[in-house]
Amino acid sequence: MVLRMLRSLLLCVPALALAACAGSGAPATRALFDGVSLAGWHADVPAADGGARVEPSFIVRDGLLVSCGKPEGHLITDESFRDYRLVLEWRWAGEPGNCGVLVHSSTPRRLYGMFPQSIECQLHVGNAGDFWCIGEDITVPDMEARRGPKEKWGVDGDRARRIKNLTDGSEKPAGEWNEMVIECRGREVAVWVNGVEVNRGSDCTAESGQIALQAEGAPCEFRRLELTPLPPLVPR
């Protein structure tokens, strides 16, 4: 009888553990790319305006999301997000060049009739992790050293919109996979490249929006586009 009771108890333990996890309220990680389609995304490519027939700027190839580089434009999530961790992996499909991940994206074509209002987390080879301010702004330590003279700062046109990252030595050689982690919580944005924190800003002028990938000249491949909700920051 005792043995039978012990056996029943042991069988119940895994089920109780699963139930505890299920009821813990832990946020679930979700894939933003399903590996077979661009479901959940839409493209904004000016060259395709008016129904013009152009080669697609974004495709799925061999289970990867590919930014073909041209025609230039953006692939934008249908949904908007706030308070999250985005993990992505990218590599250059050919000659390394320019691309980027935009967070807190909103008004389409805010800049140069192309770039949506956002904060860009740069993927440009050798500069991964730079911030580029596109109609939105953000503050980092040592701002003048990393952005230039204060009187030139701005978020439009030829203003000083680039905020340099903390290290340009975190990227892997061309053709190898890199990992970028972006955490957006409240008005803070932090970026890691291959496990190294390369940028962190606060007082961002936006705290939610869509996520966008660029086509900006060079073919770039993406995989493991995963988003995990984060709890809101507790006011200090």
For β-strands 188-193 and 100-105, DSSP reports them as unpaired
Contact 58, 222 (CB under 8 A): no
Q: What is the rounded average pLDDT of the residues 120-141?
A: 98
Is a pLDDT exceeding 50 seen at residue 7?
Answer: no
Q: Considering the domain 27-229, what is its CATH architecture?
A: Sandwich (2.60)
Q: What is the rounded average pLDDT of the residues 97-114?
A: 98
Domain boundaries, the chain: 27-229
What is each CA distance from 187 to 1, 53, 183, 202, 234, in whole angstroms?
A: 60, 40, 11, 6, 12
Per residue in 135-162, pLDDT (tens digit) is 999 999 999 999 999 999 999 999 999 9
